[in-house]
Chain A
Amino acid sequence: MSAVKYTRDHEWVKVEGNIATVGITDFAVQELGDLVYVELPVIGDEVRAGERLAAVESVKAASDVFAPVSGEVVEANEALDDDAGLLNESPMDEGWIARVEMSDPKELDALMDRTEYDEFVKEASH
């Protein structure tokens, strides 16, 4: 299993070959509460790292999900269309949001590993 990397905006990214699977972290989901809808990206769209990729909605809030890496959106998790609750139940697995074919895998180097992310979350919540 390949390593999972994390962003400061609480996205995670898992890499297999040139394909990056993107979601939001368990910490983010806990903060957002019950999610009711995920606005999925359009397949074929080019995204750049740090730009808006998707959005997640709770009853009283909407939060943008930013692309951790640049590339082309090749897949979106349509299961979330039927049941956004998957994000609450399984944020790091079944609740993945999109797959991006990376154009610049070096961007991954700037992201955190789990230990660094946990440290980041701990500091941020102080």
Chain B
Amino acid sequence: MKGPQSLIFELSSPGRTAASLPAPEVPTPNLSSLLPAHVLRNDPPGLPEVSEMDVVRHFVNLSQLNHSVDNGFYPLGSCTMKYNPKVNEDAARMPGFAQIHPDQDEATVQGAMELLYSMDRYLSELCGMSRFTFQPAAGAHGEITGLFVIRAYHESRGEHRTQVLVPDSAHGTNPASAAGAGMEIVVVKSDERGNVDVGDLRSKVGPSTAALMLTNPNTLGLFEENVREIAALVHGCGALLYYDGANANAIMGKSRPGDMGFDVVHLNVHKTLSTPHGGGGPGAGPVGVKSFLEPFLPAPLVKLDDATGMYVWDYDRPKSIGRVHSFNGNFGVVVKAWAYIRSMGPDGLKAASEHAVLAANYVMRKLQPYYDLPYDRDCKHECVLAGTRQKREHGVRTLDIAKRLLDFGFHAPTIYFPLIVDEAMMIEPTETESRETLDRFIDAMIKIAREAEEHPEVLHDAPHHTPVGRLDETAAARKPILRYTRES
């Protein structure tokens, strides 16, 4: 096991370089003859001075300190850490995708535009929507885009609706996105089955409601059984229904948000559609809408000109909310998702959701005897267990359980979320893990439950076999050190 590594700045030696650059080949007058002296830089930036080998070893060594999908099981709930197919990486790097500029004439980028156009068709079919924009670069970016659209729609009807309803089980991005769209947040309670409390919703929805944001299956991994009634209530007062697609891996080919009554959808391409998460991004958060909302989508959209058979940018969208991204969104990520959809086909996508749901139920039922299960229902693609028993009886916190899992070579589940479950552990196995892997994980969880009874101290001090031991987050936040500073 590798331990802590030097910072690259600590490897620096004056005069060393890895740069390989051409000579200017043109006249090189004094800089100050081209630019005013006062706009020139006086001191060079404190970048490291290292050789190419230094750089390669440093970052390879750093990479080896990471847990990743490619070196172990990653059951992080709500994140859909499925296998990231390698062919998709090659696809995004093809020169006709990677080496093209967004301002090129349409005639010179027809392949890329065709890909976006067909992806719009695929995602619209997958979600039961009418049209997608690819500008949003991530899920939260999709949320705020969808809310801008909803806001513009209401305003176009002369209605000033200011409230967004958000269930208490929602991702933090939901209320944050609603606030970013200038909306007031109204929290809706969950009922004892883990669904939206319809009575509470009824009391809160009204003429000021702009939208309800719903994740379905929700963050408890449970399908909203009352979605028809919810949709009727929300639409009945003139508000719209927003679908947070973070959990769409449960329902591909099984059920569609558009059919359930949702008006706006975002998908997390880096979850459901297999593109890698990159250690925190880039993802993509395409947003789809029903036809009555199409005029409000960010401009431009790709359009097929029937007369010429050419794909063109459609800028003529007077009701558009405007741009949400400098260019076309995370196109390179969309290429990977396109390759995934074509690799899976309609049967494969449906099978993926079925296997994902089966895997989550398998883990849930196998672990049910050992951990508390706050909502005892068949789950969808993820399950939420609770470490309440371990905390109450053995003084072991869910954090300790999570850290101990790392010693077994597994990533921890999402913990302490959703907020409405005490000591929550949200486990999402995904369809790309074999039964043998799930069994090994289950065995580790059972072993940890026993350790909690017999040797709680082992859990309190965990992890023991990771590149570093448990890190002091309090110290980090009290006296923030956010950059390296050269010792003088």
Q: Which of B349-357, B428-436, B472-480 contacts A (4 or more CB under 8 A)?
A: B472-480
CB of A59 closer than 8 Å to a CB of B? yes
Minimum-distance CB pairs A-B, first 8: A36-B477, A34-B474, A59-B473, A36-B478, A59-B477, A59-B474, A36-B474, A84-B478
CA distance in complex: A60, B473 (Å): 9
CA distance in complex: A60, B478 (Å): 13
CA distance in complex: A36, B472 (Å): 12
Interface size classification for chain A: 10 to 19
**Chain B interface mostly helix, strand, loop or mixed?**
helix
Known: A36-B474, A37-B478, A59-B477. 12 other contacts (CB 8 A): A34-B474, A36-B477, A36-B478, A37-B477, A57-B477, A58-B474, A59-B473, A59-B474, A60-B416, A83-B478, A84-B478, A85-B478
Contact string against B for A residues 32-51, beta-carbon threshold 8 Å, 1 for contact and 0 otherwise: 00101100000000000000
Using a CB–CB cutoff of 8 Å, the interface residues on chain A facing chain B are: 34, 36-37, 57-60, 83-85
Residue numbers in A under 8 Å from B473 (CB-CB)? 59
Output the nearest chain A residue to B473 by Cβ-Cβ distance. Answer: A59
Output the nearest chain B residue to A85 by Cβ-Cβ distance. Answer: B478
Give, as a whole number of angstroms, the nearest-CB distance from A79 to chain B.
Answer: 13
Most chain A CB within 10 A, of B416, B473, B474, is at B474
Residue numbers in B under 8 Å from A85 (CB-CB)? 478
Residue numbers in A under 8 Å from B474 (CB-CB)? 34, 36, 58-59
CA distance in complex: A89, B473 (Å): 18
Contact string against A for B residues 395-424, beta-carbon threshold 8 Å, 1 for contact and 0 otherwise: 000000000000000000000100000000
Give, as a whole number of angstroms, the nearest-CB distance from B398 to chain A.
Answer: 12
CA distance in complex: A58, B475 (Å): 11
Within 8 A of A (CB), among B457-488: 473-474, 477-478
Q: List 15 A-B contacts (CB under 8 A).
A: A34-B474, A36-B474, A36-B477, A36-B478, A37-B477, A37-B478, A57-B477, A58-B474, A59-B473, A59-B474, A59-B477, A60-B416, A83-B478, A84-B478, A85-B478
Contact string against A for B residues 159-175, beta-carbon threshold 8 Å, 1 for contact and 0 otherwise: 00000000000000000
Give, as a whole number of angstroms, the nearest-CB distance from B129 to chain A.
Answer: 36
Give, as a whole number of angstroms, the nearest-CB distance from A4 to chain B.
Answer: 27
Give, as a whole number of angstroms, the nearest-CB distance from A35 to chain B.
Answer: 8
Residue numbers in A under 8 Å from B416 (CB-CB)? 60
CA distance in complex: A122, B473 (Å): 31
Most chain A CB within 10 A, of B416, B473, B478, is at B478
CA distance in complex: A57, B416 (Å): 17
Give, as a whole number of angstroms, the nearest-CB distance from B470 to chain A.
Answer: 13
CA distance in complex: A55, B92 (Å): 45
CA distance in complex: A58, B473 (Å): 10
CA distance in complex: A57, B478 (Å): 10
CA distance in complex: A37, B474 (Å): 10
CA distance in complex: A84, B477 (Å): 10
CA distance in complex: A79, B416 (Å): 32
Give, as a whole number of angstroms, the nearest-CB distance from B51 to chain A.
Answer: 39
CA distance in complex: A60, B416 (Å): 10
Give, as a whole number of angstroms, the nearest-CB distance from B179 to chain A.
Answer: 14
CA distance in complex: A67, B473 (Å): 29
Residue numbers in B under 8 Å from A57 (CB-CB)? 477
Give, as a whole number of angstroms, the nearest-CB distance from A36 to chain B.
Answer: 4
CA distance in complex: A33, B474 (Å): 10
Residue numbers in B under 8 Å from A36 (CB-CB)? 474, 477-478
CA distance in complex: A37, B478 (Å): 6
